Structure 1
């Protein structure tokens, strides 16, 4: 049965190895492309995921997540919240597609501006310019290292290194504290057994059937640790 829950990352969550399936309105063969944009209902999302899940045989654990919305703005907001908890490439890619769709929808309602505006001044950064800049820093560092170093200089460098290490530890602690404050609402479904059978069960009562934007994630494997992200 699908449940509406809050997802959050526990600070001691270990690495998880699993199969990941994902579907969005821009997944080929899943979404419905119209002139006004691409759409995907929870029912069709689960249908597409079920076809993929049927390829896996044998007992396993399945952990499914659905993000649904009726408007593109709500969809992008919900995806951004999920990315704070699970910044997966598939989630971030869907955010970019949703942002593009949102911009396109807005531009269609605006009168084009014929003014010729030059782009703002910004630092030029490319692979070659970064390599040149890095090479110059290496050369400068080498030249500095060739200068005589006194005992006081060495002591000062050790103090700087100690301060840097303490700063890194402090940043790591702050990062964990930051994770504790990040959460995202989502629909989840968990079940153990044959993935194909579970896929059929998932499709019986899809949540929010009237939604037109859906992101579906299905994790297959040992899900005991990943299920700990269900906060409530």
Structure 2
């Protein structure tokens, strides 16, 4: 049976190998496309997912997540909450399309404004760029140490590396704390058995039948660790 649950990511969640299916109002063959936008009911979303699940050889654990809404603003907000827990490419892609749909709807009601100025120049900083900079400094320190470098210079470079290492650890710890604080409320369904049979069970009583926007995820495989996302 479908139920509303709070989803979080445990800090010690290992890598999970599984099959993943995703459906959204922009999935070809699943959604209703009208002049006012794209729509997908929970029933149609589950019917589309069921057609894909039939192709998977069982038995298997199945874990399904549905985000439903009656308007685009609520839909986008719920998706962004889910992305805080599961920043999967399909989730982020649907968020971008949802945001674009909102922008398009607003632009139809507004007079075009003045062109936006370019944002101010800022340092590009991310986990990857900081790691790259730190690595370059380590290489530079090694090359300098191999040349005519004094002991004081080497000590200074080692101290800088130690500071960078400590900063990286702090950033990683902060990232884990932030991840642990994220949560999302969604419809979930989990069952073990033949995927085709489970697909039929999932489709029997779709949740939130009045919703006109739906995003669905289905995971199939050994999902013991992934199911720990459900906050008990």
Normalised by the length of structure 2, the TM-score is 0.87
Structure 2 CA distance for aligned equivalents of residues 5 and 215 of structure 1: 16
Give 1:85's aligned residue.
85
Aligned length: 216
In the other structure, the counterpart of 1:17 is 17
Q: Secondary structure at the match of 1:203?
A: helix
Secondary structure at 1:164 match in 2:
helix
Structure 2 alignment gaps of length 5 or more: 123-132
Partner residue of 2:126? none
> Which residues of 2 match residues 68-79 of structure 1 at below 5 A?
68-79=68-79
Aligned-partner Cα distance in 1 for 2:15–2:21: 18
Task: Tell me the secondary structure at the aligned position of residue 223 of structure 1.
Answer: coil
Within 5 A, what are the aligned runs for 1:48-197? 48-113=48-113, 115=114, 117=115, 119-120=117-118, 145=144, 148-197=148-197
Matches within 5 A, 1:33-44: 33-44=33-44
Distance (whole Å) between structure 2 residues aligned to residue 152 and residue 50 of structure 1: 67
1:38-87 Cα deviation digits (max 9, x unpaired): 00000000000000001112211100000000010000000000000000
Q: Could you tell which deviates more after superposition, 158-167 or 89-98?
A: 158-167
TM-score, length of structure 1 as denominator length: 0.87
Runs of 4+ in 1 over 2 A off after TM superposition: 117-124, 144-148
Q: CA deviation at 1:166?
A: 1.1
CA apart distance, 1:170: 1.2
1:215-230 to structure 2, matched below 5 A, reads 215-230=215-230
Tell me by how many angstroms 1:178 deviates: 1.0
